[in-house]
Every structure is written in C-alpha cells, then in structure tokens.
Chain A
Amino acid sequence: MSEIGSGFFQAINLIVTLNPEVMQIAALSLFISLVATIIAAAISIPLGGLIHFHEFHGKRIIIVLIQTLYSVPTVVVGLVLYLMLSRSGPLGVFGLLFTPEGMILGQTVLIVPIMTGLVIAALGGVDRNISDTLISLGATAFQCIVQIVREARYAILSAVVLGFGRAISEVGVAMMIGGNIRDATRVLTTAIALQTGIGDFPLSIALGIILLAIALIVVIILNLITSGLLFESQQALGGPRT
C-alpha cells in the first residue's frame, strides 16, 4: 500500500514538474493518435458516405464485415501489419517498421473500420424523409449528400472522437509496430506496460494518470457533442428549461 501511495505522489510530482520524459511520451502519443485520427476520418467519412448513399449487391455483407472489424484484437492488427512492414514483407521497402509513421499507419488501419461503421450508422440515422424533402426541393444528388452529412454532423463527430479514443488507448499495434523505442516510438500505453514490468511504478502511474485524463477529455468532448443539439435548442428557446 505504501508503495502505491508513494508511487502516486511521485507520479504527481513528475506531472507537476513537467518531467521531460513524461511530456515527450505524452506528446508523441497525442501526435501519433491525432494524425491517425485525421487520416482515418479523411478515409472513413467519404467511405461511409459512399457505402450509405449507394445501393449495390453485397452492401449488407460489407457493413457486417466492417462491424466485425470493430472488435478485432489490436495485436492481430499489429501482427498482420508487422508481417507487411517487415523487411521481407510486401511493404518492407518503405522502412516503416519501428517508426512513428508505421504506428500512425497501424492506428489508422485499426480505427478506420469503427469510424466508417459509425459514419454509416450516423448517416442512416438521418430521417429518410429528409432526403426525400431535399430532392423534392430541387437538390442535385451532390447537394443532397452534402446536406445529409451536415444533418448527421454531431453523430459523425462522435465517431471521430471515439476513433481517437480507441487509437490513443490501444497497446498492441503501438508495441508491435513501434517497438517501444525510447525517445523514438515510446507512447503512453507501451511505456506503462514496460515501466510496470521493470517495477518503475511512479512513471507508470504518472503516464496512467495522463492517459486517464485524455480519456476523460474524450468523454467530455463526446458529451458536449451529443448534447450540442439540445444546447442549441435551448439557446433558441431563450435558455435551458427549468
């Protein structure tokens, strides 16, 4: 108990004094996951739109496949990408293994399915009458799609934030593709795993607190987004209902 207690206070000290190693690990984590989220969003939103707005054979099967990939273990994604990116693999020539770029690629691959699936669900959640109304008002196919995406903006934003949450909290891909190399590819989750293994609890707890804080921020942002509509309604009505 005293070990946990002293570890906790040392962790707070590391955070408050902006320990360079802690800050570097946290910053790299945020950078990799943010870039992966931006790339995944750039792929998932148009891809989700493409699947939602087009009728084709096998659409249902594709959606089920995407949903199955929501829960694919991160180590499986890590393993597959490792084999692809290793020197003898088909993408070995790019030298991405054990680099932050490789980790970005790995996290992108990991979160594209969940983001795409949630974008499809978000667009599907828009009342069908809306698209009929838009077409009836003289919208072109493109104008109609733009308007429906705008209508689903809160749900799409939630999908992006959830994708970020999955990226920053995963350990399998970061460990296998990044290799947990100090000052190069060490991120919050891999550092916690390593430091706990060697008994450096203060650093593990400090990094854990930062990870939890990021998770908390993600949840707060999600709540703000989902309550955005209600908030706007209340503003329009002249303030919250009592």
Chain B
Amino acid sequence: MIKIADLSRQAGGKTILESINLEIHRGEIFTFIGPSGSGKTTLLRLIDLLDMPTTGTIIFDGTDTTASDTDRLSIRRRMAMVFQKPAVLNTTVAGNVAFGLKFRDIEKSRIDECVREALEIVGLLHLSERRAVTLSGGEMQRVAIARALVTRPEVLLLDEPTANLDPVNTELTENLILRVHREFQTTIILSTHDMIQGQRLADRIGVIIDGRMIQVGTTNDIFYQPVCKDIARLIGIDTNLKGVVKSNDRGHAEIEIGESIFEAITPVPAGQRVALYIRPEEVTLVLPDSVSHKTSVRNQLTGTITKMVPFGPFVRTTIDFGSHLTALVTRRSADELSLTVGMTVIAGIKATAIHVLADND
C-alpha cells in the first residue's frame, strides 16, 4: 500500500532521517519503535505528506506522492493523522470532529450523522456539545481519534498516541485502535517509544535509531532476535555477554564466556566471536540446595546476587558468575526464595532462549 524508497529528510543542517526503505501492507498495524528524537515523528509526517522529503520517494497505492499539490491533497485525504499532542480547535467537540468532512464539502445532514457515529465509537457522544478546549487530555486524544476516523481513512497514522495518558486512558486508546483496525480494516501506522505497547498492538515493527531503520520484522523477530546491541538495549535486553564459539554441531553451539560454557542454538561457526543476548524474563533462579535446578535447562550458572532493583511487580536481579546476568523474578518468587544481595544462586537459561549474534565490534 505504501512503498518508501531511499527516503531521507534534512532540516536545519541536520540529518533527521536517512535511507529509509520500507513497505507497509494494506490492513496491517505497523509500529515504529525507537527512542525519543530518533525520527519517528518525522517519518510519520512525511508519510502523511505534511513535509517534503529531502531525497527519496513515497509511493501511495501506486501513485508517487512527490507529484503535484493537487495529487498530494487527494492522497492526503485518504489518510488521517493523530498527533502526540492533540490540538483541538476552539469550538464544540462535534464541531471539531466535523472539520475533515467540511473540508471535503460533505452535506450537513451527512456530516451530523458521521460525527455522531465517530463520537459513539470513541465513547464521547455525551460530550458532543461541550467546548473541546475544556476536555481532559484523554478525552482530547479520543476527540482527535474521532476526528481522524470520521473521514474513514484508508491509513490512520498515530504519533505516540498514549505518550501523555494515564494507564486507564492508555488502555482505552489501545483498545480503540484495535477496534478501528478490526471493524474498518484500516491500515494503521503508529509510533511509540513504549516497547510493550508496540508488542501489544503491532503486526510488524520497524525499529528506528538515529534516523535509520535498523530492523523490520514481526514482534517475535524484534523482541527475540534483535539484529544489534542498540535494539537489544531498546527492547529491554540488558544481558549482553561476549565470547567465542568453541564448537557447533548442526546448529547446537558451545560458547565460551570467560570460565563458563553456554549452550545455544545458532548457525554461527566455531571460532567466531559472538555476543549473547538473554531476555531477563528467560532467566530462572533457584537455590543451590534445591532439587528443582536438576532440570532439562542446558545452561546452569552458579553466581552471587550483586544487585536487586524493584521493577513494578518484579525484581531485576543481577547475578555475578564471572560476567553479569540479569534475571526478572516476581516479587513473590524473590520473597519465597528469600533472595538477598550476596546470596549464591543458580541461574538457569534454556539454550533456545539465547540469541546469538556475530560480534564484529
């Protein structure tokens, strides 16, 4: 539906986006993930044809969007964008939602009907005559979504739609996005720096770091097979161990990390320097005298707890076994095992839970 080729954008002598190549399919939810300032908003603005790229092309449904202003307007009218900070105009909620239809010269009775329907979808019909500027942040965001939906866009762009919302409004907005996608088969492109949100909503994810699209893939690809250290860090993998592949028997490798040997599933050949990435929730902890560590888990490392940091309902626990490893254990488990700093534990990691990348640093 949207083909982006060699897209770049420079502004104020600074390169904001560089060599973006991407294809977004009709009907999918595609999420741009990246740290703040990585270029996500710029890319969304280019797709919505609000700005012109410095180089490259965006093909929308077979039409080059760098063509005439008339073409750009008609393509833009097939899309709608919801901005991170929703701007409402100084009129009623219904008046705000009606703008897109008024711009398209739709007749009044039809506008009223569509506005009503859009406000019903976002659950704000009861506020239709309220001044939009008096709404709360969450309500304004829903007005912005209704305003975008009312024109029945083929593509809905959402820039950090929940960045300024509390957890309740975040859930409401996420459910709304999923409902719109389900009911209208709208292609949705959204940006977020919230990795978990990306995982919850997206069919596919594109990771943008420093203006470059580093990796595109399904949520599983991104979260379990990051292609580089920056993405691993971005998606919450903070265990990054460096070592050398000692042997590889048909994809079953033994990797030496300091004094320890790890077993992992990888095609990387023997002799290659590698980096191992391990998600903290994939690491299990047991006490040395426990019988439960005698399991099928291939990697069992004895180490000492050096740090325990509360993390919501979990505790991020750092274990020193010569190198450092992070485990995410529930508070309940930490209490049951009476985990404390200085205690010796056995960390268990399945061979399949280790993501191995050739280390060329």
Contacts and interface: CB of A to CB of B under 8 A. Distances in A.
A137 to B, nearest CB: 4
B163 interface: no
Nearest to B81: A136
A222 B23 CA distance: 54
Nearest to B92: A236
B151 A137 contact: yes
B341 interface: no
Contacts of A143: 103
A132 B131 contact: no
Contacts of A132: 45, 50, 83, 87
B100 interface: yes
Nearest to A129: B87
Contact of B73 (A130, A140, A229, A237): A140
Interface residues of B, number: 29
B83 A137 contact: no
Contacts of A134: 99, 103
Interface string A204-242: 000000000000000000000000010011001100000
B134 interface: yes
B131 A233 contact: yes
Contact of A236 (B85, B129, B147): B129
B254 interface: no
Given A151-B90, A236-B129, A237-B134, A138 B76 contact: yes
A6 interface: no
Given A136-B81, A137-B151, A147 B89 contact: yes
A135 B130 CA distance: 24
Contacts of A137: 80, 99-100, 103, 147-148, 151
Interface string B87-110: 101101000000110011000000
14 contacts: A129-B87, A133-B83, A133-B86, A133-B144, A133-B147, A135-B76, A136-B76, A136-B80, A137-B100, A138-B73, A138-B103, A138-B104, A151-B89, A233-B133
Interface of B: 45, 48, 50, 73, 76-77, 79-81, 83, 85-87, 89-90, 92, 99-100, 103-104, 129-131, 133-134, 144, 147-148, 151
Interface of A: 127, 129-130, 132-140, 143, 147, 151, 229, 232-233, 236-237
Given A133-B87, A236-B129, 10 more contacts: A130-B87, A132-B45, A132-B87, A137-B147, A137-B148, A147-B89, A151-B89, A233-B133, A236-B130, A236-B134
